[in-house]
Chain A
Amino acid sequence: MPVLVVDDYKTMIRIIRNLLKQLGFANVDEASDGTAALSMMREKDYGLIISDWNMEPMTGYELLREVRADDHLSRTPFIMVTAESKTENVIAAKKAGVNNYIVKPFNAATLKSKIDAVFGDAS
């Protein structure tokens, strides 16, 4: 299942890619912001999006809203992985349809449990 990781920090993409590989997700693409991610999503079907929030020119939150507004993409599982931890922002992301929310710094077990929860909910 192809996974798209979206973050403007190359180190973070590399970390998540390695963690996903250990979890059995070998087919991982990357994008450095929401605009690039959206373009890639319109070219290829992804089974999971893991996205940072704070990016330019399109934030992860804006990407989430675009994805949920797109008939073809709207059901794509979307996990936010971000340093943003304000309650209002978490609630905003939840209302916008994010499947799960991980606050940085995080560990491998947290990522695994959130991915498991997403696909557990979907099954």
Chain B
Amino acid sequence: MGQVGGTKAKRSRPGRAAKAECSCNETSIAAEITMLLNTLRELAAIRSTAEDAAARILDSAEGLLTLADKEEAKKAEEAILSIMTACGFDDLVGQRVTKITETLDRVIATRLTGEEPARTPTTMLVKPQSEITLEGPGLPGANQDQARIDALFREKN
């Protein structure tokens, strides 16, 4: 026969376990945020390194173009210009890093507050009363070749 009135409930294991689990979650969230912040620092370092590398390559290429013997420089011109345009990697690295950084910022904000923040990324600019959305550089193979662009331009409006 069951007791009437019941007994005062003991402080049960599930409560203590829940508190331990909550503390564990907080620790793992803090560790996760630390990891994400370190990742952001790494990304900033990538961008900085890429910029430095591009500048040094351009310094050398510009130096080659100003060779005193212009005949020799002319022969190498195509190769030098190819080196220079390849330095555009710095720009694209920077844009991709920006996209990643914004995603990580949102993840960090979500983990800190528990809510998904309003999405206001700078590389996806949605202007009021505009249908333009920007995505920055596409992924490899994402159909961003010049020939396709040229074909669009040849189409009549």
A15 within 8 A of B: yes
Cβ distance A2 to chain B, nearest Cβ, rounded Å: 21
Taking the nearest CB of chain A, how far is it from the CB of B55, in angstroms?
A: 7
The 8 A CB mask of B129-143 against A (1 = contact, 0 = none) is: 001111111100011
Q: Inside 8 A of B143's CB, which chain A residues have their CB?
A: 85
Q: Is A103 positioned at the interface, with any CB of B under 8 Å from its CB? A: yes
For B134, what are the chain A residues with a Cβ–Cβ distance below 8 Å? Answer: 53-54, 59, 84, 89
* Minimum Cβ distance to chain A for residue B91 (Å): 4
Contacts of B51 in A (CB 8 A): 11
B135-A86 in contact (CB<8A): yes
Q: Which residues of B are in contact with A by a Cβ distance under 8 Å?
A: 51, 54-55, 58, 61-62, 65, 77-78, 81-82, 84-92, 94-95, 122-123, 125, 131-138, 142-146, 148-149, 152-153, 157
| B131 touches which of A12, A92, A102 (Cβ 8 Å) | A92
Cβ contact of A15, chosen from B87, B131, B133, B157, cutoff 8 A: B87
Check A18 against B132 for contact (C-beta < 8 Å): no
A19–B153 Cα distance when bound, in Å, is 23
Asked if A89 contacts B132 (CB within 8 A), the reply is yes
Bitwise, A79-108 to B at CB < 8 A (1) or not (0) is 000011111111110110000111111111
| A-B contact sample (4 more), CB < 8 A, given A11-B55, A11-B90 | A12-B88, A54-B136, A88-B132, A107-B85
Residues of A with C-beta under 8 A to B87: 11, 14-15
Closest partner residue, chain A, to B51 (CB atom): A11
- Return chain A residues, CB-CB under 8 Å to B152: 87, 90-91, 94, 101
B contact patch SS: helix
A9-B90, A9-B91, A83-B136 given; A110·B157 CB < 8 A: no
Q: Is the CB of A104 within 8 A of B149?
A: no
Q: How far is the CA of A7 from the CA of B95 in the complex (A)?
A: 12
Say how far A96's CB is from chain B's closest CB, in angstroms: 10
Say yes or no: A101 contacts B58, CB within 8 Å.
no
CB contacts (< 8 Å) of B92 on chain A: these are 83, 104-105
The answer to whether A14 and B58 have CB atoms under 8 Å apart is yes
B78 neighbours in A (Cβ, 8 Å): 108
Contacts of B148 in A (CB 8 A): 85
Determine the chain B residues whose CB is within 8 A of the CB of A59 once the complex forms.
125, 134
Is A78 engaged at the interface, CB distance under 8 Å to the other chain?
no
Within 8 A of B (CB), among A9-59: 9, 11-12, 14-15, 18-19, 22, 53-54, 56, 59
